[in-house]
Amino acid sequence: MGERNGATAWVVALLALALLIRLPRVLANDFPLNDGGIFYVMAGELAGARLTLPSFTSYNNVRIPFAYPPLAIATAAAINLATGADLLTVQRFLPLLASLVAVAVFFLLARRLAGSIARASLATLLFVVLPRSYEWLIMGGGLTRSFGFVFLLLTLLFGHRLMAGRERRASLPAALFLGLTVLSHPEMGLLAAAGVGVLTVAAGIDRWKSARAAEVAVGAVVMTAPWWATVIARHGLTPFTGAAGSSGFWLRGAVARLASGDVTGEVGFPVIASLATLGFLLSLWRRDLVVPGWLVAAFVLVPRAAATPATVPLALLATLGLTDIVVPGMASALGSSVPPSGGGLGPPRRFGGADTGARTLRILMAGLAVAYPLAFSNALRTTREWASMAVLSRPERAAMAWVASNAPAASRFLLVSTASPWWVDPVDSWFPALTGRESVTSPNGAEWLPRGEFQRRESEYFALKACRVVDDACLEAWSRRFNEEFTHVYVSKPTVAGAQPVPLCDSPRFRVVFDGAGATVLQRHQP
């Protein structure tokens, strides 16, 4: 009972810290952070259809199949139908709530892997302060990512109980949570399946484990069948092959990101990334491949979404590096008689181990010394320094409202914003959602179109960003290069102090039809 109460106290304290770190970012704005425009539209369409899956979404007016895993989107729609809560409000706070649930589930997973409450608490503390552990979860697009992340953690938790603990009763919940992961986020679902596979191999494949892995896989396939069968019946395999083919750009830089200190998103010297490197090497020495396997799988299998799920093995490996290398080393240097658990670099053994009272105190003090500076520095980061925390400003929304009311429905817009790349460009994400007009270059949602459409739009996006001056010559050259016609140009104005405006030259081919505090809209005279 005492141990359980101690664990509960730690979870409550760590949840309070997580809320303290995350909530101010959400409350600082009256609009969802960064992206999520496509999910806002899809949630509205699900609510309008009383949770019946449409064939297409109207987002960006390019007939994108409604093939995205619908669980999180349907949850937002259901909350809207049941309570009348505005969907934008739901999209601001539901991802935050799910990110807090992820903290609690991570503690349970760490408790199982680390072998003591102290180590689990330390791992969760490092997880809580890692920017990548919440950065992409609490923004508007975090609606699906946060749900997928929670179910990914639950899949790993019960997958470990099943494969490493040989708990037969864990088979059903492992299959259930794997299915829910797939129904929430495509890449989290793939990684959850890979995580179970890593556990199966690392625990030693035998007939019993193979049978259990098959049970989990079949259970997840059956559970998700109503969704994927409906999509295939309507659209064939095209949406899935298109989405699978959109990861090439991200895969090229996956190894470089994995080897860099930026993998954790830390400000300044990457302390946690360095500790994780030590833990990674120590795990390889001990031939304990589960946690390193999860890390490698994240960057190889889901390079686009790797930053968030990678925080799980990174926090666990950083804990191992701190508790089994750094703390024993410091104790030895100070002449302490407290021995390191496991004898430092020793023979193969399981991750973690028991800790004495004195060693527990050293571990937690070392953890606070690492976590406090990172939490403090993250709190001081401005939007200009942290691009993914940007938000669509009220003046921008006013400009988009003008477009929605005045631009012809068939208008095709080029979006010129001060942000880049597109995954941290709120204008690119929200313009189609708030205006109902097509953005010619927006890659958002295009991954579900036939193979190649996503890559084409991404190329168009970056080519447009290469225009140093938004003028007749550059825009017409862009149009000829990609054989794209457009009727309007939407030019954002800086919303962040110190940002430079986009230069805009006068041209007889373009006429200003709106000029507000958030943006300028130009209409193109067709040749």
Higher pLDDT, 345 or 183: 183
Same domain, 461 and 328: no
**387, part of any domain:** no
Residue 397 has pLDDT above 70, yes or no: yes
Arithmetic mean of pLDDT, 338-364: 49
- Check residue 5 and give its pLDDT: 67
Is residue 386 domain-resident?
no
Q: pLDDT class for 414, splitting at 50, 70, 90?
A: very high
Q: Mean of the pLDDT values across residues 165-188?
A: 96
Note whether 219 and 256 are same-domain residues. Answer: yes
- pLDDT tens across 429-449, in order? 999 999 999 999 999 999 999
The owner of tokens 């309570």 is 83
| Predicted pLDDT of residue 500 | 56
- Domains of the chain: total: 2
* pLDDT score recorded for residue 292: 94
Same domain (yes/no): 90, 33: yes
Q: Are residues 372 and 512 in the same domain?
A: no
| 4/47: higher pLDDT | 47
Identify the pLDDT of residue 508.
78
Per-residue confidence band for 472, with pLDDT thresholds at 50, 70 and 90: confident
For residues 231 and 256, state if they share a domain: yes
- Residues 449, 302, single domain; the answer is no
For residues 446 and 350, state if they share a domain: no
Long-range interactions of 387-390: CB distance < 8 A, separation 24+ = 387/419, 387/424, 388/33, 388/34, 388/135, 388/136, 388/139, 388/423, 388/424, 389/25, 389/33, 389/34, 389/135, 389/139, 390/33, 390/34, 390/419, 390/424, 390/426, 390/495, 390/496
Look at residues 197, 223, 207 and name the one whose alpha carbon lies nearest to residue 71.
223
Confirm whether 385 is domain-assigned: no
The C-alpha atoms of residue 406 and residue 397 are separated, in whole angstroms, by 14
**Which contiguous run of DSSP H or E holds residue 333?**
helix 327-333
Q: Is the pTM of this model over 0.85?
A: yes
- 296 is in which domain, residue-wise? 2-380
pLDDT attached to residue 339:
46
163 occurs within a structural domain? yes
| Between 259 and 306, residue with greater pLDDT | 306
- Are residues 12 and 147 part of one domain? yes
Dist CA 30 CA 26 (whole Å): 8
Predicted confidence at residue 338, as pLDDT, reads 44
Pair (58, 136) in one structural domain: yes
3-class DSSP string for 408-445: CCCCEEEEECCCCCHHHCHHHHHHHHHHCCEECCCCCC
Q: Summarize pLDDT for 112-140 with one digit per residue, the tens.
A: 998 788 899 999 999 999 999 999 999 99
Structure tokens at 231: 């999509």
83-88: long-range contacts (C-beta < 8 A, 24 or more apart)?
87/40, 87/43, 87/44, 87/47, 88/31, 88/32, 88/40
How does pLDDT run across 206-258, given as a tens digit for each residue? Answer: 999 999 999 999 999 999 999 999 999 999 999 998 888 766 555 555 656 66
Across the chain, mean pLDDT equals: 88
Residues 8 and 139 in one domain: yes
* Cis, peptide link before residue 450, omega less than 30° from 0: no
Question: Is 9 in a helix, a strand, or coil?
Answer: helix
